[in-house]
Every structure is written in structure tokens, then in C-alpha cells.
Amino acid sequence: QVQLEESGGGLVQVGGSLRLSCAVSKQTASPYAMGWFRQVPGKEREFVAAISRNGVITLYSDSVKGRFTCSRDNAKSTVYLQMSSLKPEDTAAYYCAASTQWRGDKRTSWLEYEYWGQGTQVTVSS
């Protein structure tokens, strides 16, 4: 069983930055592609970013492209989401997720990810 734990959320002003971290419980995170999703109450979980097992491939939603950067350190079993130029619409609970499959156009779908963290809240104030 893989356990994921997010940290780094909080309250930030518009235009500010935050870095989220996701610690993977396994000795190494390298067997898993990793994703970040976000959700606000009453809305579906939304894809934010994802990264391949070796960190070579990264994917971003159009809404965060150019502002967010996803990276990983497999030696530390940790995945990061650096968020910059934050907007009020970025306010959400952010979840990291792990995938053993990560297939083609399913890579941005939450259904492709088997393991999930509990989430960390990000609130951007105007």
C-alpha cells in the first residue's frame, strides 16, 4: 500500500507563490507516475499537473501552464508543485496521486491514479 502525504498549502495573496510537497511512503517513488489534482466543493476534481516516473515528461492543464512547475526527487521520494502568480481561481484543495499505469490520453484523468493523499488547502486572497 502506497501512502501519500501533501504539505505546503496555506493562505497567499494574489500574485504570490507556494510550493506543495508530496511525500511517498514507499522507499522509492520511482515506480509511480505522479499527478496533482485540485477540487473545490461542488465541482469535479480537476487535473493540474503530472510527471513521469523519471521526471522527463511533465503535463499541465492550460489553466496553470506557465505558472506551475511539477518536479520530483526520487531519492527523497517526494514530488513538488511550485505554484507562482497565483490567482483567486487557484483556490482549492490540492491532492497528489500516484499511478502505476499512466497510459496515453488517460494521464490527465483522475481515474488513472490508484493512490491518493488527503489533500492540502490552498487559498488565494484578493
Q: pLDDT of 53-107, one tens digit each?
A: 999 999 999 999 999 999 999 999 999 999 999 999 999 999 999 999 888 889 9
3-state secondary structure of 86: coil
Across the strands, what pairs with 21?
Answer: 7, 80
Per DSSP, the three-state class of 38 is strand
Across the chain, mean pLDDT equals 94
Helix (H) or strand (E) holding 42: none
Q: Give the closest residue to 31 by CA, choosing from 102, 117, 116.
A: 102
